[in-house]
């Protein structure tokens, strides 16, 4: 290796070093500490440092804890699929049907709910979905229902609260992808005899996969780790993993079990990343 190459390598490392140090100090070291703590266990009110997999075994054998994993996965998958199905047409309409000079305004309106506090937004949904809420009053008013039905304090309420939030996020990532597509793709497809629907399905949609998958992955990560929405809208009628983690921390003082649950949660996110990595091209979004 020449001295020039060595010098270039040192310079490159110097530029990367702050990011590496940051990751080491604020991610790898805390994560290592959390893994270590997850191997300890609670005896009475004392945390006893040990090195066994007791907490992990309990997570996968205790029905209540195991159910938390399935509850989180079911909610997250449902939210992700519904959000994608709603966000893609919205992003497509904004990117292709709205005149360019109004697109920025349309995007701003689409993400307007981001400007309010997450907690306040969840409580607002609680009032909308409640027995005497706006939704029920409207449904009864138009004659669709005779009496209120329960949506609040159910999984449906949690999913609605999540979808409202994540449709905005996905709209942004898909829109950013869509506006980068050259109109020549659609023109070429039309020249080759493709109908509008065929162009959309066989050309545009595949080309927006990076935006869809990036948004879907972000939705998955944020949704599966969210505590506030299921806590406020779900009515504690089932517990997701973040709720179980909070129970261990705030009530039991069982930091090792909370750490073990967090590691499992992180493993699920890693699996989601592995499943979507081939489409995650941030430069395309």
Instruction: Report the run of H or E that residue 48 belongs to, with start and end.
Output: strand 46-48
Residue 161 sits in the site that holds other proteins (CB under 8 A): no
Residue 48 lies near other proteins (rule: CB under 8 A): yes
Q: Give min distance, CB of 167 to other proteins, in A.
A: 25
Is 131 in contact with 150 (CB distance < 8 Å)? yes
Q: Does 26 bind other proteins (CB under 8 A)?
A: no
Does the protein bind other proteins through residue 131 (CB under 8 A)? yes
- Out of 14, 15, 251, 282, the only residue in the binding site for other proteins (CB under 8 A) is 251
CA distances from 155 to 152, 169, 187, 239 (A): 8, 21, 44, 10
Give the largest CA-CA distance in the chain. Answer: 82
| C-alpha count within 13 angstroms, C-beta hemisphere, residue 143 | 0
Q: Is 99 in the site for other proteins (CB under 8 A)?
A: no
List binders of other proteins among 61-90 (CB under 8 A).
Answer: 63-64, 67-68
Report the alpha-carbon distance of residue 180 to residue 278 in Å, rounded.
Answer: 19
CA 38 vs. chain centroid, Å, equals 25
Distance CA 190, CA 178 (A): 18
Instruction: Rule CB under 8 A: say whether 101 interacts with other proteins.
Output: no
Per-residue binding string, other proteins, 207-246, x by CB under 8 A, is ------------------------xx--xxxxx----x--
Told to check if 153 binds other proteins by CB under 8 A, we report yes
Give 40 or 168: the residue with its C-beta nearer to other proteins.
40
Q: Where are the alpha helices (DSSP H) in 43-110?
A: 54-61, 63-92, 100-110
How many residues interact with other proteins (rule CB under 8 A)? Answer: 37
Q: Which residues contact 41 (CB under 8 A, 6 or more apart)?
A: 47, 48, 50, 52, 54, 55, 256, 257
At 70, list the tokens. Answer: 């399935």
Give the range of 44-52, 172-180, 264-272, 276-284 binding other proteins by CB under 8 A.
44-52
Q: Closest approach of Cβ 233 to other proteins, in Å?
A: 10
Structure-block tokens of residue 60: 């996968």
In the complex, least distance from residue 139 CB atom to other proteins, rounded to whole angstroms = 16
**Contact residue for other proteins among 255, 266, 276, 284 (CB under 8 A):** 255
Stretch that binds other proteins, among 106-114, 120-128, 162-170, 190-198 (CB under 8 A): 120-128
Residue with Cβ nearer other proteins (75 or 94)? 75
Q: Is residue 100 within 8 Å of 187, Cβ to Cβ?
A: no
* CA–CA gap between residue 166 and residue 72 (Å, rounded): 16
Contact positions toward other proteins, by CB under 8 A?
Answer: 37, 40, 42, 44-50, 63-64, 67-68, 123, 126-127, 130-132, 150, 152-153, 231-232, 235-239, 244, 247, 250-253, 255
């Amino acid at each position: 290796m020449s001295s020039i190459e060595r010098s270039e390598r040192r310079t490159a490392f110097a530029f990367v070093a702050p990011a590496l140090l940051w990751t080491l100090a604020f991610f790898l070291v805390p994560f290592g500490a959390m893994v270590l703590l997850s191997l300890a266990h609670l005896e009475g009110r004392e945390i006893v440092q040990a090195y066994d997999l007791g907490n992990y075994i309990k997570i996968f054998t205790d029905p209540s804890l195991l159910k938390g994993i399935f509850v989180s996965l079911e909610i997250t998958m449902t939210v992700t699929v519904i959000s994608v199905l709603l966000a893609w047409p919205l992003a497509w309409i904004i990117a292709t049907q709205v005149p360019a000079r109004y697109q920025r305004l349309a995007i701003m309106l689409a993400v307007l709910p981001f400007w309010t506090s997450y907690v306040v937004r969840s409580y607002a949904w609680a009032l909308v979905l409640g027995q005497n809420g706006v939704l029920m009053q409207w449904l009864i008013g138009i004659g669709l229902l005779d009496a209120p039905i329960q949506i609040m304090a159910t999984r449906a309420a949690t999913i609605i609260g999540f979808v409202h939030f994540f449709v905005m996020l996905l709209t942004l990532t898909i829109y950013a992808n869509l506006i980068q597509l050259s109109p020549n793709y659609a023109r070429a497809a039309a020249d080759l005899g493709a109908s509008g629907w065929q162009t959309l399905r066989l050309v545009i949609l595949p080309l927006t996969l990076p935006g869809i998958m990036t948004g879907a992955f972000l939705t998955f990560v944020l949704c599966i780790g969210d505590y506030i929405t299921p806590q406020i809208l779900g009515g504690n009628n089932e517990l997701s993993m973040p709720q179980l983690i909070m129970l261990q921390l705030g009530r039991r003082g069982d930091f090792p079990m909370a750490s073990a649950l967090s590691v499992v949660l992180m493993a699920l996110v890693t699996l989601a990343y592995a499943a979507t990595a081939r489409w995650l091209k941030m430069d395309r979004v």
